[in-house]
Amino acid sequence: MKKEKGLLIVLSGPAGVGKGTVCRALRETENNINYSVSATTRAPREGEIDGVNYFFKTKDEFKEMIEQNQLLEWAEYVNNYYGTPLPYVEQSLNEGNDIILEIEVQGALKVKERYPEGVFLFLMPPSLKELRERIVGRATESEDLINQRMTVAKEEIEMMKQYDYVVENDEVEEAVKRIEAIVTAEHCRRDRLIHKYKELVEVDQ
């Protein structure tokens, strides 16, 4: 019987909502979700391994990937390029593995244009006040930058309607449970399974 294709799970939300923290917690559970390895043109840092932490590319190699439409999404940041390689994602999905992308809202919407059958999760803070406190708690940004982030966060929350699910990150453990429940439910969707059972009936005949 044909193996079920994996799910492309896209997790995004405003800066400071805890996307990285939630994804790290997901890694610690046995849920069989793989994590997308991004491509970058920045130099490897000590201990980083090509193909594990990042796919390290020259700028010419990265630009060629853009020209050949090999990236789900990409962006330039501080004179370096970052992006999600399409062949890596497609191979994982075709092998039946679920894969999660942790990306910003703009990048997520680009992915949705190209891969509408993905599962799009919007991670929400309990409140804007709590979100601001989390950003302030980093102690890495000026008051002006914090205000800018809050303005952008409000705009991004307005984009929530573009997503399939909303997960409130009140407690990390609870957010992880909700995401795992969503993934389980998505694997049981009729439109994802109808081909499998059609093949089963045909074999029995």
- Domain extents in the chain: 8-36+98-204
Q: What is the pLDDT of residue 202?
A: 67
pTM of this structure: 0.80
Mean pLDDT rounded to a whole number for the chain:
87
Which residues does 22 contact at the CB level (< 8 Å), separation at least 6? Answer: 11, 123, 169, 172, 175, 176, 179
Please state which of the four CATH numbers 3.40.50.10540, 3.10.129.10, 3.40.50.2300, 3.40.50.300 is assigned to the domain occupying 8-36+98-204: 3.40.50.300
Q: What is the pLDDT of residue 201?
A: 66
How far is it, in rounded angstroms, from Cα 10 to Cα 95? 18
Alpha helices by DSSP H, listed for 15-171, are 19-27, 59-67, 86-94, 105-114, 128-138, 143-158
Q: What is the pLDDT of residue 35?
A: 86
φ, ψ at 123 (rounded to 5°): -90, 120
Stretches in the chain below the pLDDT threshold 50: none
